């Protein structure tokens, strides 16, 4: 099933394999504009049925990592057109991940005080400018709580970003509601201490997420909208949320009638607990529409998820960093290039080294055979 096509609504993917979103921080400056090097990077990996881009901030205040490509200026739109044209020319589809980091930022990155559901901070670091110059990991700032008007303005920013994505030629958008970022901050008890309609009970804490998805779907069509969640990941928080699993299942039941392109579960990264099979069964009971799973999958474990109908699509992150021809390697049982310490060092920022210089398997074999004994 990994290599079978997948069709849902107006979407059609050549296979069930997706390239998961991964921050790479390779934009052109000033303005954090997508560039030719990024277009090459994504085109090299367009053997996936679907590519999901790295997170693209929907606004300046939504930015939490330096040198990430935005989707809120005309220059961003024009830059992303290079990427979508490159991916489409190689026969794949591409969604952009719409990103607002919330409190996981610093004023030197966002240009103003970070925002969140509440004025609550946990120890956390993000990639930004260092006081002594250059870039590295910096401690996040204390956020201010969004007002109800701020919330409506932020939803409008998501909608505008989705419209911009359509202008840039994307096949759809994936709303980032995972990994301790803004929407996730509204859903979790520790970061949401509001007493208005966006805080308190579970229904209120999922309200911002549901209103955002509904507004974006109304603007560009629900089959062009996906959402990423991570209920089993504890990233950006001091401790687990005792209600996040129950809240997620309730939210999925409310999302089901919207007929989204897919719901994307991010798992097994940062601090996490493993998703039990009982959770996958509960998800299927309330959510009959397309599901994607990502998180340290292998070809074998991905196939098992498809066989058990727990997932319809499976996403691979770091294997795609070092194996641009991942689908062909899977098909032919060719060995994978390991995501090693050197690859990790070039993950964020830099030039084409560790970005677009990884050879396909057959190219590597030819090069090896051509070397003198």
The set of catalytic residues is 181
Angstrom distances, CA of residue 3 to CA of 18, 52, 313, 332:
11, 18, 10, 12
* 369 half-sphere exposure, CB direction, 13 A CA radius: 6
Instruction: Classify 300 as helix, strand or coil.
Output: helix
Residue carrying the six token digits 């998703």: 275
Q: Are strands 115-116 and 93-99 parallel, antiparallel or unpaired?
A: unpaired
Sign of CA dihedral 211, 248, 60, 217: negative
Taking each helix axis as running N to C, give the angle between helix 244-255 and helix 277-286, from 0 to 180 degrees, rounded to the nearest 10.
Answer: 30
CA dist., res. 206 & res. 352, Å (int) = 40
Instruction: Classify 203 as helix, strand or coil.
Output: helix
CA dist., res. 302 & res. 312, Å (int) = 10
Q: Are strands 144-145 and 291-294 parallel, antiparallel or unpaired?
A: unpaired
């Amino acid at each position: 099933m990994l290599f079978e096509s997948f069709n849902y609504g107006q979407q059609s993917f050549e296979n069930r394999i997706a390239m998961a979103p991964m921050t790479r921080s390779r934009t052109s400056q000033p303005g954090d504009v997508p560039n030719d090097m990024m277009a090459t990077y994504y085109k090299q990996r367009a053997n996936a049925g679907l590519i999901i881009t790295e997170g693209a901030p929907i606004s300046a205040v939504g930015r939490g990592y330096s040198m990430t490509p935005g989707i809120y200026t005309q220059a961003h739109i024009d830059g992303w057109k290079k990427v979508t044209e490159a991916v489409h020319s190689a026969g794949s589809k591409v969604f952009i991940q719409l990103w607002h980091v919330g409190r996981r930022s610093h004023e030197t990155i966002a240009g103003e005080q970070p925002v969140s559901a509440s004025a609550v901070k946990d120890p956390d670091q993000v990639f930004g400018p260092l006081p002594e110059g250059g870039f590295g990991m910096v401690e996040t700032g204390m956020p201010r709580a969004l007002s109800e008007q701020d919330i409506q303005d932020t939803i409008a920013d998501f909608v505008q970003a989705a419209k911009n994505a359509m202008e840039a030629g994307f096949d759809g958008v994936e709303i980032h509601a995972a990994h301790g970022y803004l929407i996730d901050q509204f859903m979790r008890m520790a970061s949401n201490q509001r007493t208005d309609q966006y805080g308190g009970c579970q229904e209120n804490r999922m309200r911002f997420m549901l209103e955002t998805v509904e507004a974006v779907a109304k603007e560009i069509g629900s089959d062009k909208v996906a959402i990423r969640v991570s209920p089993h990941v504890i990233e950006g928080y001091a401790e687990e949320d005792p209600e996040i699993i129950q809240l997620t299942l309730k939210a999925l039941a409310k999302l089901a009638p919207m007929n989204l392109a897919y719901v994307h579960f991010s798992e097994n990264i940062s601090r996490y607990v493993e998703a039990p099979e009982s959770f996958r069964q509960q998800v299927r009971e309330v959510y009959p529409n397309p599901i994607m799973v990502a998180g340290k999958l292998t070809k074998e474990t991905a196939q098992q998820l498809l066989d058990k109908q727990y997932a319809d699509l499976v996403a691979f992150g770091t294997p795609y960093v070092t194996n641009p021809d991942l689908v062909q390697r899977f098909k032919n049982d060719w060995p994978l290039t390991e995501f090693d310490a050197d690859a990790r060092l070039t993950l964020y920022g830099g030039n084409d080294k560790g970005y677009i210089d990884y050879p396909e398997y057959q190219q590597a074999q030819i090069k090896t055979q051509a070397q003198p004994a």
